[in-house]
């Protein structure tokens, strides 16, 4: 994975911030604990809205679905940790992936 990152001329990732205070606070919590499950049901409960409303607001305010936003947040955190030299397996497990291969598969899908 590190070799693939090194070969990329530009990392094409941007993590847009939502406008709403409640969603920004949720995003901050996700970035502080990216390895948690962060299901849409859990997130909706935190911000006090239905899952459907959460997803609609995320799409409107960020251009991403809630699930895609969480995946990108994890991926960006993974890139930082890998660039710091942390072992791939440690990064994978810390970010909630069950194995090195699950993390690598996600990484290749996105890249």
Segments making up each domain of the chain, as ranges? 2-8+17-110
Q: Is the pLDDT of residue 10 over 50?
A: no
CA distances from 98 to 32, 93, 94, 105 (A): 19, 6, 9, 12
CATH of domain 2-8+17-110: 1.10.10.60
Convert the pLDDT of each residue in 73-95 to its tens digit: 999 999 999 999 999 999 999 99
**pLDDT of res. 94:** 95
**pLDDT of res. 39:** 97
């Amino acid at each position: 994975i590190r070799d693939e990152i090194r070969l990329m001329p530009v990392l094409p990732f941007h993590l847009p911030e939502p406008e709403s205070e409640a969603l920004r606070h949720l995003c901050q919590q996700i970035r502080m604990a990216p390895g948690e499950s962060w299901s849409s049901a859990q997130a909706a409960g935190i911000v006090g809205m239905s899952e459907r409303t959460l997803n609609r607001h995320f799409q409107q305010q960020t251009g991403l679905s809630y699930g895609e936003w969480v995946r990108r947040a994890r991926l960006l955190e993974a890139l930082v940790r890998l660039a710091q030299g942390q072992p791939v397996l440690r990064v994978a497990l810390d970010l909630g992936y069950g194995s090195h291969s699950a993390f690598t598969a996600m990484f290749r899908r996105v890249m």
